[in-house]
Amino acid sequence: MDMQHVASKGLVLLGCGKMGSAMLEGWLNDGLPAGSVYVLDPYPSDWLKGTGVHINTDLPTDPAIVLVAVKPQMMGEALPTLVAKGNGEAVFVSVAAGTPIAQFEAVLGGQTPIVRAMPNTPAAIGRGITAIIGNTHVSAAALDLAEALLQAVGQVVRLETEDQIDAVTGVSGSGPAYVFHLIETLAKAGEAQGLSPELSMQLAKATVGGAGALAEAAAEDPAQLRVNVTSPNGTTQAALEVLMDEQSGFPTLLNKAVDAAVKRSKELARG
């Protein structure tokens, strides 16, 4: 089961908002023929209309992949339209947050191959990371295919159990917002020290973006990179003594933040 299989049997994309558009753009750039893609979306964008894909037309009888990218609150309305594709060969891949595999099985049928995926927003620029887990009906080849499709927007990791999705949500799913807030607050701290808002924001964005890129590219782990730039009794050490404080610093704060996100993720999955 490969991309040629998808091209010949067809791919259905349910929902083409930011995430769906980012994935579709990646597939088309990777050579998936526009004529093999069928998009169902009530409000197709001008960009989508210009891609040459099928929009809101009859679907192929037995598509290779049905990728579900609608918002969770629209799931109850959108998913039943695809019941006829359940319990068959079509592999359903969902990037909808908070919708467990059991919910798809309940609507589509218990024999349906289903892959649940948790992407994050840097997927919009091809820098996302997506975690995937399949039910027992997903073959190794189908999971490979789901991974290949999701690699269009970044890295892909495989989970051992669906329960791990909640932890992934707390770390990488919600994580970009933590980093955006770090940029906000770092820029404000620069302003407090007399820098202009524009200059301080430019410094904060470039620092966080550059440090993230260095952390991914470097052979050393982030702890060693931190040590490398921390001169004894220097400026960085003075700041880190505040940030690494066990009571009020990052160790406690981020642990509490991720724990809150994970708990909320579990609550949403229970409905």
Q: What is the pLDDT of residues 22-39, one digit of tens each?
A: 999 999 998 999 999 999
Q: Is the Cα torsion angle 96, 101, 107, 112 positive or negative in sign?
A: positive
Helix/strand/coil percentages in the chain, nearest 5: 55, 15, 30
108 is in an annotated binding site: no
17 is in an annotated binding site: yes
Q: H/E element holding 264?
A: helix 250-270
Q: What is the pLDDT of residues 208-236, one digit of tens each?
A: 999 999 999 999 999 999 999 999 999 99
Q: Based on the structure, what is the number of domains in the chain?
A: 2
Contact assessment for residue 139 and residue 1, using Cβ atoms and an 8 Å cutoff: yes
Task: Over range 3-26, report the average pLDDT.
Answer: 92
pLDDT confidence tier of residue 73, bands split at 50, 70 and 90: confident
Last residue of a domain, one of 137, 168, 199: 168
Q: What is the pTM of this model?
A: 0.92
Co-location of 103 and 8 in the same domain: yes
pLDDT at residue 46 is higher than 70: yes
pLDDT at residue 270 is higher than 80: no
95 is in an annotated binding site: no
Co-location of 140 and 41 in the same domain: yes
59: DSSP letter: P
171 is in an annotated binding site: no
138 is in an annotated binding site: no
How far apart CA 30 and CA 52 sit, in angstroms, is 15
Co-location of 130 and 243 in the same domain: no
228 is in an annotated binding site: no
Task: Over range 67-77, report the average pLDDT.
Answer: 86
Co-location of 12 and 139 in the same domain: yes
Co-location of 26 and 118 in the same domain: yes
Q: What is the CATH number of the domain that holds 223?
A: 1.10.3730.10
Question: Residue 71 is part of which domain span?
Answer: 3-168
